[in-house]
Amino acid sequence: MNRKSADIVVIGGGVVGCATAFELARLGCKNVVLVERNTIASGSTGRCGAGVRQQFGTELNCVLAREAVRIFEHMDEYLDYEPGVEFRQSGYLMLAYSDQQWEQFQRNVELERSLDIDVKMLTPEGAREIVPFLDLEGMVGATFCQTDGHANPFHTAFAYAQAAKRLGAEILTHTSVMDIEVENNKIQAVVTDKGRIATSAVVNCAGAYSAKIAKMAGIDLPVWGERHQILITEPVEAMMGPMVISFHHDFYCQQTPHGSFIMGIGMPGEPKSFNIRSSVDFLEGMANTVMKILPPLGNLRVVRQWAGLYDMSPDAQPILGECPPIEGFYNANGFSGHGFMVSPIVGQAMAELIILGKSSVDISKLDAGRFERGELVFEPAVVG
């Protein structure tokens, strides 16, 4: 390793780390080093469903997602990325299966509309106009937002990484962070298996491994890994536009531009772990549920199943910002299954916070201190 010092070290080469490194460089930070122990997008980013939705139950999540969508909409030009990140706004169709859930959805829509997010409320029959083969049994209503969608997670991460490099950031792959040196509550250096990088600031974007990184700086961070599984089918002709999502079944399913269907379902009782093995009971649960809600998909063949980790936090919300008492230690983790969709705005907000001392979207409520203060921000709408 020839570089021995950096203004800022970003730990983790998932989409959040790559976006943060790029935005830091864009704000003029000349000496950004990103350290990734494997390859870019080898963690949760490369394993995720890559859905992007603005339909949430808290104002902050709606605003973060809305701002992220605005960046996704012109990301290919913004990052000058020729292959394209394949952002498609084919909408999210969210299904409600009880009166209580429907009331919550209606409250969400009211909130979303007040924030300039255009969401429609639909009867079950109205939902069927969007997905003609939807089974309506037990469904009470649905909401639909056309500007929600999905992107290619590999290309998004690669696009940020390449753009960051062009602006002078250094990206070290196959390099593991082993320790963080702290003196008088100030960051001194990041120690990797390839050498020591002197620095006064660290951004912890290590996903499910973020608590391990925090521990290196002497910080107890309440973030843990939780396995979530997903599968993909053979590609077929375009037959379903939106992502279909049901909290009742803890299920989501979507057809990619490539034609494959990608789908996931939550497994009750999944323990805290770093386990990313696939299981047979997931396949069975998934197959049964999808055939109930979207019957014709039973005719599709599964070509691949895999698993990844959600980086969970106690209130299923991200942890963003500086982490007292350690000066220069910043967190951008705890995304709890919705980190891909907000990564563009998280990168911007983190860079603004670090370089300018203040971000344009107010993320102060998402600091790590909220757990001690008892100011958790529960999101009623999480899935998978």
Partner 1 sequence: MTDRPKRHDDDVIVCRCEDVTLGEIRRLISEGYHTIDEIKRISRAGMGQCQGRTCRHLIARELARALGVPQEEVEMPMFRPPTRPVLLSTIARGEGDE
* Residue (140 or 346) nearer to ligand FAD, CB: 346
Instruction: Based on the shown chain and the rule CB under 6 A, indicate whether residue 308 belongs to the binding site for ligand FAD.
Output: yes
Shortest distance, position 323 Cβ to partner 1, whole Å: 32
Does residue number 155 form part of the binding site for partner 1 (CB under 8 A)? yes
| Beta-bridge mates of residue 140 | none
Query: Distance between alpha carbon 367 and the CA centroid of its chain, in Å?
Result: 17
Q: Smallest distance, Å, CB 357 to partner 1? A: 35
280 contacts 20 by C-beta, under 8 angstroms: no
Whole-number Å distance between alpha carbons of 25 and 46? 23
Coil vs helix vs strand at 365:
helix
Q: What's the closest the beta carbon of residue 232 comes to ligand FAD, in angstroms? A: 11
- Which does residue 338 touch among ligand FAD, partner 1, none (CB within 5 to 8 A, set by kind)? ligand FAD
- Does the protein bind ligand FAD through residue 45 (CB under 6 A)? yes
CB 246 within 8 A of CB 223: no
Using the rule CB under 8 A, give the single segment among 126-134, 290-298, 339-347, 350-358 that binds partner 1.
290-298
CA 305 to chain centroid, in Å, comes to: 19
Q: Is residue 225 a contact point for ligand FAD (CB under 6 A)?
A: no
284 binding partner 1? (CB under 8 A):
yes
Helix, strand or coil for residue 16?
helix
Tokens (6 digits) for 293: 């809600």
Q: With binding defined as CB under 6 A, does residue 266 bind ligand FAD? A: no
- Which of 7/270 has CB closer to ligand FAD? 270
C-beta closer to ligand FAD: residue 49 or 241: 49
Q: 3-state class of 181 per DSSP?
A: strand
CB of 40 to partner 1, least distance (A): 7
Tell me the site size for ligand FAD, rule CB under 6 A.
40
167 binds partner 1 (CB under 8 A): no
Q: Which of 145, 206, 244, 267 binds ligand FAD (CB under 6 A)?
A: 206
Instruction: Candidates 10, 22, 32, 36: give the one binding ligand FAD (CB under 6 A).
Output: 36
The pair of structure tokens assigned to 319 is 């942890």
Sign of CA dihedral 120, 124, 126, 129: positive
* 8-state DSSP, 60: H
Distance CA 346, CA 331 (A): 11
Collect all residues with Cβ–Cβ distance below 8 Å to 31 and sequence separation of at least 6. 5, 6, 7, 8, 168
Among 340, 345, 350, 352, indicate the residue that binds ligand FAD (CB under 6 A). Answer: 340
Give the number of C-alpha atoms closer than 13 A to the C-alpha of residue 311, restricted to the C-beta side. Answer: 29
Of these partners, ligand FAD, partner 1, none, which one is at the site of residue 50 (CB under 5 to 8 Å by kind)?
ligand FAD
Residue 266 beta carbon to partner 1: minimum distance, rounded to whole angstroms: 18
Separation CA 265–CA 278 (nearest Å)? 13
Among 238, 245, 223, CA closest to 311 = 223
162 and 22 Cβ atoms separated by less than 8 Å: no
Interacting residue with partner 1 among 28, 168, 195, 298 (CB under 8 A): 298
Site for partner 1 in 17-76 (CB under 8 A): 39-42, 46
Closest approach, Cβ 317 to ligand FAD, in A, equals: 12
Choices 119-127, 130-138, 203-211, 291-299 (CB under 8 A): range interacting with partner 1 = 291-299
Q: Any contact of residue 275 with partner 1 (CB under 8 A)?
A: no
Residue 114 phi, psi dihedral angles, 5° rounding: -65, -20
> Which class for 357: exposed (0-12), middle (13-18), buried (19 or more C-beta within 10 A)?
exposed
Binding site for partner 1 (CB under 8 A): 39-42, 46, 82-83, 154-155, 158, 233-234, 258, 278, 280, 283-284, 286-288, 290-291, 297-306
Q: Which residues form the interface with ligand FAD (CB under 6 A)? A: 11-17, 35-38, 42-45, 47-51, 176-177, 205-207, 209, 228, 230, 264, 308-310, 333, 335, 337-341, 384
